[in-house]
Amino acid sequence: MLYKINNMTKSYDGRRVLDIKDIYIEKGRVIGLLGPNGSGKTTLMEILAFLLEPTSGELWYEGSSVDFSGGRLINLRRKVVLVQQQPILFTTTVFNNVELPLKIRKIDKQKRSGIVEEFLSLVGMEAFRDARAH
């Protein structure tokens, strides 16, 4: 199990934007997250990327309970990348945009190239490899 959520809520200024009883996400699965504006999609993604602490409930990652206190999140944040909803990171190619987080983590150039190609294939975007972001 990659992620497990139990009785999770997130509130902003007393307004509950997320209320999840149970979710189990298996490693290797592709998941779609659908809903209207304001339904908590981005909030959930930020919690799953360890960028935002839930108001209540439990989050488990790779079989371990996630502790949002102190400096314990840095190792988890190195394992998960959240691609923001804005379509453009930089006005460069799709390949370069996907490669950037790997470059920041100082992953070898040859290895980065293979990882980027794999990611593009996984989401069916091989044909857009050299397309410019716009």
Query: In whole angstroms, what is the distance from residue 18 CA to residue 44 CA?
Result: 7
pLDDT at 67: 92
Query: In whole angstroms, what is the distance from residue 124 CA to residue 118 CA?
Result: 10
Please report which confidence band the pLDDT of residue 85 belongs to, taking 50, 70 and 90 as the band edges: low
Angle at 106 between CA 101 and CA 107, to 5 degrees: 85
pLDDT digits (tens, 9 = 90+) for 74-84: 888 888 888 77
Domain boundaries, the chain: 3-77, 94-128
- The predicted model scores a pTM of 0.65
Residue 43 corresponds to which tokens in the numbers above? 């909030």
Question: For the residues 44-58, what does the mean pLDDT come to?
Answer: 94
Query: In whole angstroms, what is the distance from residue 45 CA to residue 50 CA?
Result: 9
Class of domain 3-77: alpha beta
Residue 124 corresponds to which tokens in the numbers above? 């069916």
Please report which confidence band the pLDDT of residue 59 belongs to, taking 50, 70 and 90 as the band edges: very high
Tell me the three-class secondary structure of 14-69, residue by residue. CEEEEEEEEEEECCCCCCCCCCCCCCCHHHHHHHHCCCCCCCEEEEEECCEECCCC
Please determine, for residue 88, whether its predicted confidence score (pLDDT) is greater than 70.
no
pLDDT at 134: 66
